[in-house]
Chain A
Amino acid sequence: MFVPRRYGGLELELGDFLRVVMEIAAGDLSTAWSLCLASAHALHLATLFGEPAQTEAFGDGDFRCPAVAAPAGQAVRSGEGWEITGTWGYCSGAPYATHYMGQTFEAPAQPGGPPGQMLLFVVPRSQWTMLDDWGDTLGLKGSGSHSIQMERAYVPAHSVLEGQWLVDTDTTQSPGLRLHGNPLYAGRTLSVFQSELSALATGALKGALEEYESLIRTRRTQRPPIVARYLDADYQRWFGQAIAGAAAAETLLAAVAGQWSEHGRRFAHEGRIFTRADDLELNVLAREALTLAWTSLQEDVFRTAGTSATRSGGRIERIFRDVAMDWGHLGNVTRDWAWRELARERLGLVEGAALKPDRPHLEVRG
């Protein structure tokens, strides 16, 4: 969906991509998770990497690529490229992937010394092995979030970006806009990642609503007056609150995607920089959609669906487990960090480049 047209892709706008993800997630969150996280990273390849890497990786447009932002392993310079070794966990979409995009550190200059700079790389499947280590979590058992292992994999220099952190990226000098002439490839990344997680949960909530409607149409209340649940004022309210939560989450995500695209367009046409503060604001807004979806699911749907709906294999039971994984995803753990970073940006406390995992975190209070 995000593969550039010149490679046979669709170049979907972010809002359209998120709508597709929501629709698939309404059917099955595991499948949508795998699809979303394996297809979204085409956006970053097309934005951040140069033409040789894109031509090599996109080929005829068949590009399915998990990516994990947490750095692992290490890289050593070798000839015109790098040799990379390491294991990366939680690579969602790995079973059907054609590539992997990951982060690692350059090996220490001296044995036992601190790691060198951080690297962002993309490698074809022939360079890595998928481990059989996924499926024993609470939910998302079908998301294909296996680990990926590389042993001295050779990666040409054009497929490695030095000093780049995928999560929080300044795209003003990136080649994507120039290569493809589409502001889609001029956008920052923080808000995109959060929008994905939120769209997945919102879609899952919409699936839960279908099941909940079926339940309340066919079951009766447990206390007087004994009537069909769909005619009962409380069930109507719970159902309506969850519908409202889904509608608000969907509307917020559409707004975030629209604003993200607008920032890209303004950069492309007016030179107005898409700032980190812009990206953080959209990131925290997208988080609200996830909060709405989770709150509606657990408070309105799961709490009132009844014990039979929690039996193993039931649709609501599965959705609850799957969305719980989304709610506990590292991306959501960083909500407080994101609020704080947004405030720090507004207060002018972020000087120069923002903190990245390869920079000392000595100054977190100021």
Chain B
Amino acid sequence: MSEPTELARELSAHLGSRAAAGEPSGCCAPETHELLLERGFYATLLPARDGGLGLDLGEFIAVVSELARGCPASAWCAASLAVGSARARVLFDLDGDLRATSATATDATATRSDGGWVVSGTFARVAGARFATHFLGVARVEGESGALRFLAARAQFELHDAGAGEGGCVRAIELEGALIPDAFAAAVQAPVDDWTASVPPAALAAVFAGAAARAAEIHEQIVRAAPQSRALDPDHQRWLGAAVARAAAARLLLREAAAANAEGVRLGSLARQAMRYASDGVQEALRVAGAAEREAGAELERIARFMLNGLSDPAALPEEWIARQLARERLELPLDAAPAVP
């Protein structure tokens, strides 16, 4: 296990102990945020010279999964900022302290202005937004077929309650006539490209995989502790074995995808399958674990609730859309511009 992964494992227990405290605000508890910041978990994908941990995708997935064992919402916040920051740095040749979150689904528009662009619009669900210093967004260009990818500084956007309810420091981001200099804007063919179809879904899948591993541990504890000896019941044994298998499948699938340098929509589709394994395992555990585990505040309930929201998170992209792009790639057709479903 690498040093960052060991650090993440150590921090995981703390995240778990503070998970409930962050829920009313839909965000990490303040001290959790400070710890994530201090230990570099918002900058896992930034190079060391920029103060980051310089992890590759496989190590990043391992770190995010470890964090998610403690608190999936906090892990998703950290992962979102790590992903957005890495992307922003590459696109705009930035350095120094940067915590950028990102989104692709948008109703925003961009119009030409002297020396830059004026961007207005709202991005409904942006994970990590609460602690972001920047926002990497995409807007339709008025009167043109392409789109504009842009980086806005924190002073240029406002945060609103996203009403999503799953934590992850999700907020709606609103820009109202924000002036984006040319240096922080890039014309693109479509809002979704190979990177957005792969890395953000992989990051969310890593959260799912870690959360599913934790859910399998809880499931096992429940089976062991049940007064009527569920451990000896053949159905409970089978359910537990299946849940363990699915959590392991999510983890191994992601790990192998990273090791094989999968990218583009292929990585996106593998990430989606990992998310499905993880959520199937958790749903099955929730179904058979007993009513107490479904009460608000129970850890298994919190994990399942996170996953329910995460499956429709814009970062993951709809699996039907990803499947269609896989086919279009093989059929040598151009990729669709963007999923119609945000």
* Mask of B236-250 contacts with A, CB within 8 angstroms, 1/0: 111111101110110
* Contacting residue for B256 out of A251, A340, A342, CB 8 A: A251
* Mask of B248-283 contacts with A, CB within 8 angstroms, 1/0: 110011011101101000100110110001000000
A244 near B255 (CB under 8 angstroms)? Answer: no
B252 near A244 (CB under 8 angstroms)? Answer: no
A282 → B minimal CB distance (Å)? 9
Q: How many pairs of A and B residues are in contact by the CB < 8 Å rule?
A: 132
A343 near B244 (CB under 8 angstroms)? Answer: yes
- Decide if A8 is an interface residue (CB 8 Å cutoff): no
B240 near A346 (CB under 8 angstroms)? Answer: yes
Chain A contact residues, majority secondary structure:
helix
A251 near B253 (CB under 8 angstroms)? Answer: yes
Query: Which segment, of B129-137, B157-165, B302-310, B320-328, faces chain A?
Result: B320-328
Residues of A within 8 A of B272 (CB): 244
- A241's closest neighbor in chain B, by CB? B323
- B245's closest neighbor in chain A, by CB? A284
A281 near B328 (CB under 8 angstroms)? Answer: no
Bound state CA distance, A346 and B238, in angstroms?
12
B241 near A343 (CB under 8 angstroms)? Answer: yes
- Decide if B291 is an interface residue (CB 8 Å cutoff): no
B269 near A247 (CB under 8 angstroms)? Answer: yes
Bound state CA distance, A339 and B320, in angstroms?
30
- A244's closest neighbor in chain B, by CB? B269
Residues of A within 8 A of B341 (CB): none
Residues of A within 8 A of B330 (CB): 213, 239, 243
- Decide if B220 is an interface residue (CB 8 Å cutoff): yes
A108 → B minimal CB distance (Å)? 31
- B259's closest neighbor in chain A, by CB? A258
With A349-B231, A365-B232: A343-B249 Cβ-Cβ less than 8 Å:
no
With A243-B327, A248-B269, A284-B245: A340-B252 Cβ-Cβ less than 8 Å:
no
Q: B residues near A, CB below 8 A?
A: 220, 223-224, 231-234, 236-242, 244-246, 248-249, 252-253, 255-257, 259-260, 262, 266, 269-270, 272-273, 277, 319-320, 322-328, 330-331, 333
Q: A239-B326, A364-B234 are in contact. List 15 more A-B contacts (CB 8 A).
A: A236-B323, A236-B331, A240-B269, A244-B273, A244-B323, A248-B270, A251-B256, A251-B257, A254-B256, A258-B256, A284-B242, A288-B249, A292-B273, A340-B237, A343-B236
